[in-house]
Structure 1
């Protein structure tokens, strides 16, 4: 059985000897010395953390070049989803609905939910919030599917009444906030 500290020393020695070739390969991929150095550093960190998966005696350069190449392409894919915004052109146009209104709506909803009968609250939470089917909710509540549907219908009607909601358009940003957000996306 090989000595683990000897294997670690051999791995380190081979890794260090491959650094100049790794750096040259990294420069050839990205064309910038500073990015190449970062790429080599990331490769060494990954190789070091995965050294137990490397078999001594095999081609460490090929293994390291594969890690470096995969890391390079991973960074390219990631960068493709990122937008450089040094002049804050994009970020200055971003706008979102303020979350305090949503928090207040949620508080109102929870207060209204507490006011409906337990069996209706249980049914609406099981189906509408927890994602159970009517059949599963009926089984959990030990009742018929029609009973669950009826309880949910009554719960929805009562919540609509308690929250003074007439239609779905009353949810989300108020008209002023919606106009600002819409204008941001239009420009």
Structure 2
């Protein structure tokens, strides 16, 4: 492995941590996810085919690890999102902290496939094409999940009920 390759992997760590925190809503689980992603990327770097950025490849690894863990935990009861946020006595930023907590709780109520796309596009500023490559889905799927995710997040934050019925398009 070249020194530049190592530097590229290390440069991804802050973005990976943000994405993992958004996916899991738990700092310890997010750190474990980042560590497992780095370990897998490091161990399988020879398999990377250098088609595209190493950043997108690593996000793909993380996403696959997250989905694998999600599938294995389906039988376990769902944990409440956001209970780990302590109430802050700091009055200057209290409203900001409440808004961030509400946003985090609303994000955690989204289906994982919508949450992942919202985080990659909105937080990591990836293009739709990059997200499609990371998640291994068609571009149209990215766009539709993003649209549905944004609408559902908006409804959650406004306290509206989200319609879960499918509409038939002719």
**TM-score with structure 1 setting the length:** 0.39
Structure with the greater alpha carbon radius of gyration: 1
Structure number with the bigger relative contact order (C-alpha 8 A, sep ≥ 6) is: 2
- Higher fraction of helix: 1
TM-score by structure 2 length? 0.42
